[in-house]
Structure 1
Amino acid sequence: MALKRTNVYADDSDLALIKDAAARLGVPEAEIIREGIHRIALAHRVWDEPFVSDEETFDLGEPIERADIRMAVTDSVEARERRNRGRGA
């Protein structure tokens, strides 16, 4: 991948966070900045085609309610916390 140089203005507080993250991870600050640019670029990408077509969807059998979503998210978060505790994180 060819890299191009550009100038970006950033808040001092953001730059301090980048500096801390780079030091903690043992990578150059530029790597943190490039990753951030890449992530935000992907987040705002517009796709030419839908991510999932109508043929790729499936019927869950019944409407999904707010409580169903809340329970699924809560269960997933709790499972992740249990896994993280097992790693000493």
Structure 2
Amino acid sequence: MAWTMRFPADEEAALDAQAEVEGRSKHEITRDAVRAYLIRHRRWDEPLLTDEETFDLGGPIGKDDIRDAMNRPA
């Protein structure tokens, strides 16, 4: 599908410069940006894990909690 995208002059110039640096077209860069956006905001119909495949750490967790959980014997 083809459509038109409009940018303010400064963003257009930045996109032109980035395309030049990467040796890619503006079209390729904007297509990749839209794909990344859609992937980031995708909603799944079903959970990736069941409750049986997870465990509760008892509240908010931090980096140390994650490290401890990853180093627990199975």
Please give the range of the TM-score, normalised by the shorter of the 2 chains: 0.5 to 0.7
Quick check: which has more Rg, 1 or 2? 2
Higher helix residue share: 1
**TM-score, structure 2 normalization:** 0.63
**TM-score, structure 1 normalization:** 0.54
**1:27-42 alignment runs, 5 A limit:** 27-42=24-39
Q: Which runs of 5+ in 2 are unaligned?
A: 68-74
Change (3 A) 1:63 1:38: same
Q: Which runs of 5+ in 1 are unaligned?
A: 73-89
Matched residue count: 66
Report the aligned-residue RMSD.
2.7
**1:1-89 alignment runs, 5 A limit:** 4-58=1-55, 65-66=61-62, 68=64
